[in-house]
């Protein structure tokens, strides 16, 4: 592994961490981005994303994965003024601002991200906060190297206080996209701990398993290694590296319970982004040093070698004993019968 020295001001934004692959096998160069949102400023965050994407593409990357909630922001430390039975006026205003920073899917920000992917000829996996009316979702959006929006995955289980600000995704967005570089999908942060969700993704044939996260603890690495071994897939986990100064200052934004202990340079999320092979080998990272582009060459032949040992939904499954049913249709709270009647009438006219 080689670490490119810190760039000069007119050079690349961040250091790049690289590990080469074996040229005798097909390889995919992948990069995970470890960088902070510009909180409450979605246009500036999109500009930053493009700079990072351009740098990764210049390094030869074919696939670039950004952290959870990179567009829209991960509201670390905030409680949105919520206690059981009460919501404060300040917390409601904080949610209004957070809602304003989110994006529509599809929408103009999705069009810009698609244009970026096409411009730099990379497959792009981006964590966003999706706005659907007045409900927000923690979402990952996917783009191909031709600039086409492939689809999205909504986090199906927000963790702890995330549930007061984010809705729950349904089974219709448990997606794995077949692309020329491999079958690509994503699970977000702690939903990676859900064995049945992982099993559904393995059944869809995932080969490049993206795991955008907000968890920078050392123990996260154990989960990522386990998933790589269990699924016989590459795991690419991207996390933000954030200091207190990357969030608005107090009193506009408060880190509940610890604000008095922080100074502007205090690290509030230490990263830990990593790339792991199907054999459980760490190819690049984990990085806890700062904002960085972390890259590795994925030897796609490793997947078959790993599956020879263990194929969790193939030769190592026992469907007559244990099986899984996935309800993968959209779960809508309201269905209007007139819409279905119009559809039936249209079919009758054909």
Residues labelled catalytic: 68, 155, 189
**DSSP per residue, 3-28:** EPPPPPTTS-SSEEEE----TTS-EE
What secondary structure, in 3-state letters, does 267-300 show? EEEECCEEEECCCCCEEEEEECCCCEEEEEEEEC
Q: Give the residue ranges of DSSP H helices in the chain.
A: 42-58, 89-101, 108-120, 195-203, 220-231, 301-309, 337-349
Answer yes or no: are the C-beta atoms of 164 and 80 closer than 8 Å.
yes
Answer yes or no: are the C-beta atoms of 231 and 198 closer than 8 Å.
yes
Cα 38 to Cα 66, 148, 165, 307: the distances in Å are 14, 25, 19, 41
Cα 113 to Cα 79, 148, 196: the distances in Å are 30, 9, 31
Phi/psi of residue 68, each to 5°? -55, 135
183, HSE (Cβ side, Cα atoms, 13 Å): 13
């Amino acid at each position: 592994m080689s670490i490119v020295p810190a760039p000069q001001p007119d050079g690349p934004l961040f250091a790049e961490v690289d590990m080469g692959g074996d040229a005798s096998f097909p390889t995919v160069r992948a990069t995970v981005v470890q960088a902070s949102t510009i909180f409450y400023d979605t246009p500036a965050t999109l500009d930053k994303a493009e700079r990072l994407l351009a740098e990764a593409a210049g390094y030869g990357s074919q696939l670039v994965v950004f952290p959870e909630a990179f567009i829209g922001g991960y509201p670390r430390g905030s409680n949105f003024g919520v206690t059981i039975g009460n919501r404060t006026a300040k917390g409601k205003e904080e949610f209004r601002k957070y809602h304003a920073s989110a994006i529509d899917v599809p929408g103009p920000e999705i069009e810009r991200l698609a244009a970026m992917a096409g411009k730099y000829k990379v497959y792009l996996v981006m964590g966003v906060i999706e706005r659907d009316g007045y409900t927000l979702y923690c979402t990952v959006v996917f783009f191909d190297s031709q600039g086409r929006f492939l689809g999205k995955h909504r986090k199906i289980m927000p963790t702890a206080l995330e549930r007061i600000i984010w809705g729950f995704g349904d089974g219709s967005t448990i997606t794995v996209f077949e692309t020329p570089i491999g079958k690509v999908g994503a699970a977000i942060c702690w939903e990676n701990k859900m064995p049945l969700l992982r099993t559904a993704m393995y059944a869809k044939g995932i080969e490049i398993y993206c795991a955008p996260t907000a968890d920078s603890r050392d123990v996260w690495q154990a989960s990522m290694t386990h998933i790589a071994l269990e699924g016989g897939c590459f795991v690419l986990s991207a996390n933000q590296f954030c200091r207190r100064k990357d969030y608005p200052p107090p009193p506009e934004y408060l880190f509940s319970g610890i604000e008095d202990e922080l100074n502007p340079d205090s690290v509030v999320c230490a990263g830990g982004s990593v790339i792991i092979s199907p054999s459980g080998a760490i190819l690049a990272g984990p990085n806890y040093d700062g904002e960085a582009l972390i890259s590795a060459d994925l030897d796609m032949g490793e997947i078959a070698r790993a599956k020879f040992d263990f194929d969790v939904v193939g030769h190592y499954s026992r469907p007559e004993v244990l099986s899984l049913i996935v309800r993968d249709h959209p779960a809508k709270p309201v269905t209007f019968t007139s819409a279905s009647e119009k559809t039936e009438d249209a079919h009758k006219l054909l």
